[in-house]
Chain A
Amino acid sequence: MLELESLTVRFGGLKALDDVGFTVRKGEIVGLIGPNGAGKTTAFNAISRFVPVAGGQIRFKEQDVLRLHAHGLARAGISRTFQNLGLFPHLTVTDNLLLGQHHRFRTHPLAQLVRPPHARHEEAHMRGKALQLLEQVGLGALKDAYVMGLPYGVQKFVELCRALAGGPQLLLLDEPAAGLTSGETEAMRALILRARDEFAATVLLIEHDMALVMRTCDRVVALDFGKVIAEGTPDHIQQDPRVIEAYLGQPEVPHA
């Protein structure tokens, strides 16, 4: 479904991503792990078309992602969340979800000026869908709450919900469990599994909570210094010496 092929991103002289390649297959939950600065978020930003790519390929369902604009990804079927939250604090939860559906609005922006009947129907229809989604994930009580006043943990759930509202085929989650309590992390894990099982989204997630990654992901890709250092099942990754080294530092005896 998503294929990265020898992807290279340079920031000045630094190779933030160096010849990175991996695949995410339909219906999988894939974890992207690595120490701070390994290039995980840069990979997300390259897929999101936020940073220029120096070389390589990104394909999503036979589409060349590098030919899309950043604002073309939602319609192509890719939604994402942000490490530091990408919600709009001055809007309600429902309005945030409506922005998640923004790419599905068909009324021309200038037609909105006179509020024609079809625009009103469209707005009502989209609002209904947003409320339905909120009910479905158990956030219905928050529909009129302003994001600004919500606790951080709740905002993480709202953001994932907003990403789901666009009906994505691929979800990119940047540290969905960061800053969550252990109870919230468990609920987040359940929601990620539901995103795949009920909402038919394939998931690629960045996460530092290894217990969560190991229990949730079908496969894991490990990055260090902009390169893929290991790829495989969670069990396989946990025992990979390069991964252990990347996380724990250089062992005294270099491995053979």
Chain B
Amino acid sequence: MRRSGWLILGAVALLLLPFFLRNYQVYLGTLVAVQALAALGLNVLTGYAGQVSLGHAGFMAVGGFTAAILQMQLGVPMLLSLPLAGLFTGLVGLLLVIPALRLSEIYLAIATLGFGVAVQQLLPQLPWTGGHQGLNVGMSTLDGWLRWEADFGFFRFNEQVNFYLFAVAVSALLWWLARNAVRSALGRAFIAVRDRELAAESLGISLARTKSYAFLLSAFLTGVAGGLYANAVGYLDVTTFGLGYSIQFLAMIAIGGLASLPGSLLGAAFITLLPNALSGFSQWMPGFIYGASLLGAVMFVPYGLWGAWLRLRGRSRGAMGSIRRALGLEGKPHA
């Protein structure tokens, strides 16, 4: 099947999905869409531009609280609070360009970890964030349409389904923006900075500007994801947005596929759904299987789940193609 065919099929499947599921499962679907968006943001930053971040949950928290406060204190509707949350988080993301221009790899990871911890400590001290009790997120009265209920036989709409469709639509729109970015001259500049900074500079690529765009775009996407998260879950607690959550995002893009946008979705689905799928087992088993499958996925599914999918389809594009060629596998049956 052609590319566009798969894309349409995937979109239709995502839109029909909630009507087959129970409310809690629809909610999980919403969480996947939201976390896929945050993972997409991290993949732009880490997978493409090569800037490792251990503070990604910090962006998510900034976006979540910004959206919640705008909605609750100023009555801003979600269609406006989400982009504003994204923009504000984007500006906060620009602060991290300062360490990113001096540090790389593990040192940058520690600097971003510091950012994540600082955000987590600072947020409860600010007004309107609910302090250490957390914040029950309220929507603006203008968002009443999300509570619309209707029953057309198979197509039953309720708040869960509506919000799922809304989250998928927002994620799809931002997905399109990110895809345009990474396929343009800007995306090439990201990869150039990731792979060889000096060569990139000699070609006229400003490290400061390119890293700024990477942090801005990444934090914007993640900030919007944070705003969606706040509304999906309905409750914000800073302790959620700690190091563990940041590492989950790294796991998502490593398992889904670095520098691959579809990989972000697959990784987010894997990380979000697996613990739930395993919840029927006895106490220690879910954790064990979860851990073991992380280990297995990284060891035995090279180039992530998206790479595995490409291999399954026998396509040899992207990183897969080059590696198949480098290993002399080109034209041979799937290895």
Contacts and interface: CB of A to CB of B under 8 A. Distances in A.
Contacts of A88: 191-192, 195-196, 199
A82 B192 CA distance: 15
A113 B177 contact: yes
Given A71-B206, A74-B202, A149 B326 contact: yes
Contacts of B188: 91, 95, 98-99, 102
Counting contact residues on chain B (CB < 8 A from A), the size range is 20 to 34
A99 B186 contact: no
Contacts of B292: none
Interface string A83-100: 000111111000100111
A70 B203 contact: no
A119 B184 contact: yes
A146 B184 contact: no
A69 B206 contact: yes
Given A86-B198, A91-B191, A75 B204 contact: yes
Interface in B171-188: 177-178, 180-181, 184-188
A100 B198 CA distance: 13
Contacts of B196: 86-88
- Which of the listed residues A50, A82, A91, A99 has the most CB atoms from chain B within 10 Å of its own CB? A99
B195 A112 contact: no
A99 B192 contact: yes
A219 interface: no
Counting contact residues on chain A (CB < 8 A from B), the size range is 35 or more
Given A88-B191, A115-B180, A119-B184, A71 B326 contact: no
Given A48-B202, A70-B202, A88-B199, A114 B322 contact: no
A223 B299 CA distance: 50
B242 to A, nearest CB: 31
A109 interface: yes
B115 interface: no
A88 B191 CA distance: 8
A79 interface: yes
Contacts of B202: 48, 70-71, 73-74, 79-80, 86
A203 to B, nearest CB: 16
A103 B185 contact: no
A102 B177 contact: no
- Which of the listed residues A70, A72, A87 has the most CB atoms from chain B within 10 Å of its own CB? A70
B201 interface: yes
A100 B205 CA distance: 10
A166 interface: yes
A211 interface: no
22 contacts: A73-B204, A74-B202, A74-B204, A90-B322, A91-B191, A99-B189, A99-B200, A102-B203, A102-B204, A103-B203, A109-B181, A109-B185, A112-B185, A112-B186, A113-B181, A113-B217, A114-B177, A146-B322, A146-B326, A147-B322, A148-B325, A149-B326
Interface of B: 177-178, 180-181, 184-189, 191-192, 195-196, 198-207, 209, 213, 217, 259, 319, 321-323, 325-326
Interface of A: 48, 50, 69-75, 79-80, 82, 86-91, 95, 98-100, 102-103, 105, 107, 109-110, 112-115, 119, 123, 145-149, 162, 166
Given A95-B188, A112-B184, 16 more contacts: A70-B202, A74-B203, A80-B202, A88-B196, A89-B195, A90-B191, A102-B204, A113-B178, A113-B180, A114-B177, A114-B180, A115-B180, A146-B322, A147-B322, A166-B203, A166-B204
